[in-house]
Chain A
Amino acid sequence: MKHHTIPRVIAKLTIPGIILFGLYVQFHGDYGPGGGFQAGVIIGAAMILYGLIFGLDDLRNVAPQKIVTLLVAIGFLLYAGVGVVTQILGANFLEYGVLAHSQKDGQHIGIILVEIGVGITVAAVMITIFYMFAGRK
């Protein structure tokens, strides 16, 4: 699709907006609709759109396959890691209250970290699936 001008220009215009919106959904999930899952899907879709328009090689430069594969695990480990940290601090698994001085601050920190973990895993899995399908030629 590299030689089609209109998809290329539109993609270049919209991809930054899509990623920015994904980040908004990620970090605004406590206040509005959305959260890590939706944000991960949106950012994954932006990367896949990039890959569809500019080709797999360009996408490999932006999101190297090895790093994406690592991120699949890192997101999950971040989520579980928050649980382990709360256990070390003397509370139950995933009981965020102990992460800060007050219960509410702890909840905020915990939820944001956990949602980032969800977002990373979901985005990385989506990009991985695209790599696997698009790489079969």
Chain B
Amino acid sequence: MSIEIYIDLVLVIFLVITGLAVIYVRNLFAVAMLSGIYSLLMASIFVVLDAVDVAFTEASVGAGISTVLMLGVLAITGNREKVSHKSSVLPLLIVIGTGSLLVYGTWDLPMFGDPNAPVHMHVAPEYISNTYKHTGMPNIVTAVLASYRGYDTLGEVGVIFTAGIGVLLLLSKRKTKKEVNQQNKLKEKL
């Protein structure tokens, strides 16, 4: 057995421990930090799987920005979780059902690293052999994202843009006309 299996095993065990800790710890500050650790472990697994760009995104988004935003929210709310006494049988059944369906789905997937997997037979060899010739980019991932699939990435930026505008519209405290009118009336009365 190669050393990679042991690394995978250790990382997965840590993932399970962190996941359980997130459920059982009641201090929300600790939970925010733990979910950051979860993302960092996930990023390490992506590195082991040779998906460096995905790992980078997971580390910066999951461990970085979400943790920081979560801390920002915790500064406004309290940092203790309310204990709920609801029965957790139904959620548990749903989670087990979905989980077993997903595991059942993996049986149809090709083995990891299988050179005959469909994904390696279609456009991937084209990209690998021609990217440098076409674009002069050593990083194929960047070339695919920004050049070959430029439309899709433009759409993604559009999604992020829309999300930002949505948050801005929902949460910004710009006054409506009615509120401004009311304030003016109050001032006149005074």
Contact = CB atoms under 8 A, between A and B. Distances in A.
Interface of A: 25, 29-38, 41-42, 44-45, 48-49, 51-52, 69, 72-73, 75-76, 79-80, 83, 93-94, 96, 103-105, 107-108, 110-111, 114-115, 117-118, 121-122, 124-126, 128-130, 132-137
Contacts, number: 147
B48 to A, nearest CB: 14
A18 to B, nearest CB: 9
A35 B53 CA distance: 9
A129 B164 contact: yes
Q: How large is the interface on B (under 10, 10 to 19, 20 to 34, 35 or more residues)?
A: 35 or more
A110 B141 CA distance: 15
Contact of B142 (A30, A45, A94): A30
Contacts of B154: 79-80, 83, 94
Interface string B25-47: 00000000000000000000000
Contacts of B146: 35-36, 110-111, 114-115
Given A34-B53, A35-B145, A83-B150, 17 more contacts: A29-B139, A30-B142, A33-B56, A45-B64, A52-B72, A75-B161, A94-B147, A96-B147, A111-B142, A111-B143, A114-B153, A118-B153, A121-B161, A128-B167, A132-B171, A133-B73, A134-B72
B61 interface: yes
A107 to B, nearest CB: 4
Given A29-B142, A132-B167, A132-B171, A114 B65 contact: no
